[in-house]
Amino acid sequence: MSDQTATAPGAADHLPGDVTARDANAKAKSSSRLNGSTVVLVLYLLFLMLPIYWLLNMSLKTNSEILGGFSLWPQNLTLANYETILTDPTWYMGYVNSLIYVVMNTVISITVALPAAYAFSRYNFMGDKHLFFWLLTNRMAPPAVFALPFFQLYSSVGLFDTHIAVALAHSLFNVPLAVWILEGFMRGVPKEIDETAYIDGYSFGGFFVKIFMPLIASGIGVTAFFCFMFSWVELLLSRTLTSVDAKPIAATMTRTVGAAGVDWGVLAAAGVLTIVPGALVIFFVRNYIAKGFALGRV
């Protein structure tokens, strides 16, 4: 912590030297405020981390230890719960199923959203604003409204309990999300680049793939992350549209609970494993998280 106090001496440094008295005063003030800030932040982060730590703690205990007594850390550290999940197909296939439909959804969403976002960011066309708004309403739509009709729609076309059904259902909110985020990034690319490329003789396709997409590569990455995430965290639709073959990990977790008591250790381990994908890539998107959640508008 001494490190932070040293690296952030406040903006007092910018003042000219002749106001030294006030400067010193400001410095003292800002350092006391900095300590206050650190306390606030540490408390907040503690509040965020404690429940996660507790899940991790549970996942490393045996069930008899969990129910037998209360301890702040595992007394007999065990990986048995993780072993159960990683060796039992009914468990680990849940992760595989989730990953399959999530990746499908991400690919579909980005593929259709790229040209559309380009159109919205560059051209005026009949009904463009209405269309853009309509897309937004689908991002905001409550999945509960769509659960039953989706079930019937996909059953009637024979897609029930397939990965593609969930991927298509999730595109209800992910395609609008992708269009909005990508449009936010594309708006930042000056139009002169397009015009220069056309003068240089590029076709639309060539320009888009060779010049434009590399320019918004970080935007595409961020969009992919958010499509992945929102599909990964969703439970209601993925549970409604699957039964066995495409059953997601989230549903595996809820269904195991309640059958002859709760296996707390395995449940906690399964939970920890669902946090891993997000935690792995979070560092790369840390500066875009706000932008992604705000649909590309920050």
Partner 1 sequence: MKTDNQRAWFLVLPVLVLVAFSAVIPLMTVVNYSVQDTFGNNQFFWAGLEWFKTQLESERMWDALWRQLAFSGIILAIEVPLGVFVALNMPKKGVWASVVLVLMSLPLLIPWNVVGTIWQIFGRSDIGLLGYTLDSLGIDYNYTQGFYAAWVTVIAMDVWHWTSLVALLAYAGLQSIPDAYYQAARIDQASRWAVFRYIELPKMRGVLTIAILLRFMDSFKIYTEPFVLTGGGPGNSTTFLSIDLVKMALGQFDLGPAAAFSLMYFLVIMVISYVFYIVMTNLDKEDGK
> Per CB under 8 A, which of residues 28..47 are in contact with partner 1?
33, 36-37, 40-41, 44-45, 47
For 298, the token pair is 């920050």
- 54: number of CA atoms within 13 Å, CB side? 8
Provide, rounded to whole angstroms, the least separation between the CB of residue 180 and partner 1. 9
Please choose, out of 79-87, 88-96, 135-143, 211-219, the segment that lies near partner 1 by the rule CB under 8 A. Answer: 135-143
Pairwise CA distance, residues 101 & 159, whole Å: 13
CB of 4 to partner 1, least distance (A): 5
Interface pick for partner 1 out of 116, 166, 177, 186 (rule CB under 8 A): 116
Which x/- pattern over 162-201 shows residues binding partner 1 (rule: CB under 8 A)? ------xx-xx--xx--x-------x--------------
CB of 143 to partner 1, least distance (A): 7
Instruction: Count interface residues toward partner 1 (CB under 8 A).
Output: 104
**Within 224-253, which residues bind partner 1 (CB under 8 A)?**
229, 232-236, 240, 249-250, 253
Distance CA 38, CA 8 (A): 12
User: Strand, helix or coil at 182?
Assistant: helix
Instruction: Give the contacts of 196 (CB within 8 A, at least 6 positions apart).
Output: none
Does residue 203 interact with partner 1 by CB under 8 A?
no
Interaction of residue 126 with partner 1, rule CB under 8 A: yes
Site for partner 1 in 44-63 (CB under 8 A): 44-45, 47-52, 54-55, 58
CB-nearer residue toward partner 1: 133 or 201: 133
Segment interacting with partner 1, rule: CB under 8 A, options 73-81, 87-95, 211-219, 261-269: 261-269
Size of the chain in residues? 298
- The set of residues, in sequence order, having a beta carbon less than 8 Å from that of 225 and lying 6+ positions away, is 281, 284, 285, 288, 292
Contact 135, 176 (CB under 8 A): yes
**Residue from 80, 144, 193, 217 in contact with partner 1 (CB under 8 A):** 144
Minimum CB distance to partner 1, residue 179 (Å): 6
Judged by CB under 8 A, the chain residues 73 through 112 that form the site for partner 1 are 108, 111-112
> What DSSP character marks residue 255?
H
Q: Which of 60, 104, 110, 113 binds partner 1 (CB under 8 A)?
A: 113
CA atoms within 13 A on the CB side of 291: 19
When asked if residue 24 is in the footprint of partner 1 (CB under 8 A), the reply is no
Spatial contact of 174 and 227, defined as CB atoms under 8 Å apart: yes
- Please list, in sequence order, all residues whose beta carbon lies within 8 angstroms of the beta carbon of residue 89, skipping any fewer than 6 positions away: none
Q: How far apart are CA 96 and CA 15, in angstroms?
A: 58
